[in-house]
Amino acid sequence: YTYSKCMTDNSGYYGNWSGAAIPASPYWQNLYDQKAEWGPCYYDATHVLTSYATYDIPVGRGRKFGNNMSKAADAIVGGWQVNGILSLHTGFPLSLSAGDASGTNSRGSRPNCLAPGHVLGRQNSPLGGYQWFDGSSSIYGPADPGTFGTCGVGTIRGPGLKTLDLSVAKFFNITERQNVEFRAESINFTNTPILNAPGTGLGSTLGLLQGAQGARQFQFALKYHF
């Protein structure tokens, strides 16, 4: 488990503008106002938990139950192992963008924040997908002509992550030192949607989340141990 906080005044050219984490603009909104760029790193996750478990099912030859079972029975029900990896983390911070109203050709323009941001979560949108946070004009608006937007960096959070990877393995003993391992693995076993970040540009799709990744996958493997 990790509890952390990462702060910066520039995200740089790292990451990409798709997926669950979206960097802030690498350009300052106002080149003479460094303090206005101070905020959480785009990859900052306050809480991160990664845990795993490995369990040898105590059935089969050489195990607690069925130690004297036949080789044929052991080949079917003996020597199995179950493994799981649980990954959880909170959402990444998002920085909003808007057209330049300052007249300075700013390449990192942000909108005005008129009220505290409000995360709605998985609220269905008539446009399809989720309206992850309230993007209405009562909360966000364009900067006044000749001014910079009042919104800071990383002012609202996107969706977090909840995944469980699961595998089962079977060991076929050949000799005391040699065995063949069969594995069946499922990535994202619960098929929980891994949501992308919502829209961060001022407009009708601000806060709208319409993408996901990481559907459940299965894979199989054979490994020879000697």
Weakest-pLDDT range from 16-25, 109-118, 167-176:
16-25
pLDDT tens, position by position, 37-72: 999 999 999 999 999 999 999 998 888 888 888 888
Q: Token pair for residue 110?
A: 């942000």
Q: How far apart are CA 169 and CA 73, in angstroms?
A: 16
40, 57 in Cβ contact below 8 A? no
pLDDT tens, position by position, 78-98: 889 999 999 999 999 999 999
| DSSP assignments along 50-100, one per residue | EEEEEEE-SBSTTSSB-TT--HHHHHHHSSEEEEEEEEEEPPPEE--B---
The partner residues of 51 in beta bridges, in order of sequence, read 86
What's the pTM?
0.85
Q: Token pair for residue 90?
A: 């909170």
